[in-house]
Amino acid sequence: MNTLTMNKAATRLLIDNKAFLALALLVIVSAALSDNFLTVDNILNVLRQSSINAIIAMGVTFVILTAGIDLSVGAVLALTGAFAGAMTASGLTPWVGVPGTVAAGACLGAISGAFVAFGRIQAFIVTLVAMTILRGAALVFTDGRPISIGTTPAADLFWQLGGGYWLGVPIPIYLMFFVFVLCWGVLHHTRFGRHVYAVGGGEKVARLSGINVARIKISVYAISGACAALASVVLTARLGSAQPTAGTGYELDAIAAVVIGGTSLMGGRGRIFGTLVGALVIGVLNNALNIMGVSSYFQMIAKGAVILLAVLLDSRSTSS
């Protein structure tokens, strides 16, 4: 019986840290292939480039844990980015503007969540519709043109969130780790987090266990929206302007990060750490292919192959 448990524990350890192993492997291979990869500058670069996807993906993890899906995060990012840009351009301090943007993202997410919870429509459809509508709204709001954040003192402070450094480390990296610690704490150490897993594991069980399933569902979409909005702040600040077409296709990168991180699309199983690692896997891959001078066309093919490999590994290890 002891060898059985030990085998099981070992397998579990491997399964839980599969994404981490993949990341380590990717880093080793990249370092071997390019001298420019393993430099402090480049690593900070990778982390900063990954931060936007990581922040979005961690929000999406909550949704996927409840067996839902959120396709609207890219569009939420575009619209809330426009809000952030417009607020900053009007001279509003980011101390108000950023929380306002995040709150707006949470509200947009909560609306999708309400349709999923009460409308009994599949999350795929609800968020697909939200994606279309919000993308349109972003175009209407910006009139199809970028909104520059301007050169006011408020804009300078706002810009720091995307382009600034603290102790030599880009601010977006701090934001990414801040979101990670917050999400990790919420998922693994609060009642709410337990309830998220329970709803994904079995809605009927969750309901009979005294969980307000609708409230949990609305909350996870709100979290996903809030994370997308925070990512929009980073992106808008870094670019110095809000683009109405920003974030196109980001939802798929986010879902890919979640899946590479080992979270089950069936809900109830997965970890936020995996998602962070998944986002870094995608980031490292993009970066390494860039340094090696691989064309962006081939990069897409390579990215697809890696995601496929990760999912394949996951399905094999869980079925055995």
Partner 1 sequence: MALQGIEKRFSGVTVLEGVDLALYPGRVKALAGENGAGKSTLMKVLSGVHQADAGEIWLRGDKVRFTTPRQAMDAGIAIIHQELNLVGGLSAGENIFLGREPRTRLGTVDWARLYRQAGELLARLKQHIDPRTPVAGLSIGQQQMVEIARALSLDAEIIIMDEPTDALTDIETDILEQVVAALREEGKSLVMITHRLPEIFRMCDSVAVLRDGQLVHDGPTTALSENDLIRKMVGRELADRYPYEPPTLGEEMINVDRLSAPGVAEVSFSARAGEVLGFGGLMGAGRTEMAQAICGDVPIKGGEVRIRQASVRFASPQEALRAGLVYVPEDRKQAGLLLEHSVADNMSLAALPAFCGPLGLINAGRERAAVAHYIEAFRIKLQDMHQPIDTLSGGNQQKVSLAKALMTQPDIVILDEPTRGVDVGAKREIYLLINELKRQGKCVLLISSEMPELLGLSDRIMVLANGRISGEFTREDATQETIMTAAAHSEAATETVTP
Instruction: Kindly list the residues in this chain that would bind partner 1 in the complex (CB under 8 A).
Output: 1, 3-5, 7, 189-192, 194-195, 197-198, 201-202, 204-212, 268-269
Q: Render the burial of 159-175: b for 16+ CB within 10 Å, e for the rest.
A: bebbbbeeeeebbbbbb
d(Cα 216, Cα 112) in Å, to the nearest integer?
13
The C-alpha atoms of residue 142 and residue 282 are separated, in whole angstroms, by: 30
Which pair of structure tokens corresponds to residue 19?
């994404």
Dmax of the chain from CA atoms? 68
Shortest distance (Å) from residue 220 CB to partner 1? 15
What is the smallest separation between the CB atom of 47 and partner 1, expressed in angstroms? 29
Burial of 5 (0-12, 13-18, 19+ CB in 10 A): exposed
Question: Which CB atom, from 85 or from 113, has the smaller least distance to partner 1?
Answer: 113
Q: Which is nearer to partner 1, 194 or 303 (CB)?
A: 194
The CB-of-134 to partner 1 minimum distance in angstroms stands at 30
**Residue 50, both tokens:** 């990954």
Minimum separation from the CB atom of position 205 to partner 1 (A):
5
Instruction: Please give the Cα distance from 50 to 27 (Å, whole number).
Output: 14
Calpha distance 215→320 (Å, rounded): 35
Q: How far is the CB of 193 from partner 1 (least distance, A)?
A: 8
Confirm if 147 and 86 have CB atoms less than 8 A apart. Answer: yes
Nearer to partner 1, 6 or 33 (CB): 6
Q: Considering beta carbons, is residue 78 or 259 the nearer one to partner 1?
A: 259
Residue among 212 and 290 whose Cβ is closer to partner 1: 212
Nearest one of 228, 216, 176, 184 to 59, comparing CA atoms? 228
Closer residue to partner 1, CB minimum distance, 204 or 316: 204
Nearer Cβ to partner 1, position 7 or 160?
Answer: 7
Q: Measured between alpha carbons, how far is residue 66 from residues 24, 29, 131, 235, 300 in Å? A: 29, 35, 20, 28, 29
And the tokens for 178?
A: 């801040």
Q: State both tokens at 260.
A: 């590479």
Between 5 and 296, CB nearer to partner 1: 5
| Shortest CB 225 distance to partner 1, Å | 20
DSSP string, 112-162: HHHHHHHS---HHHHHHHHHHHHHHHHHHHHTTS-EE--SSHHHHHHHHHH
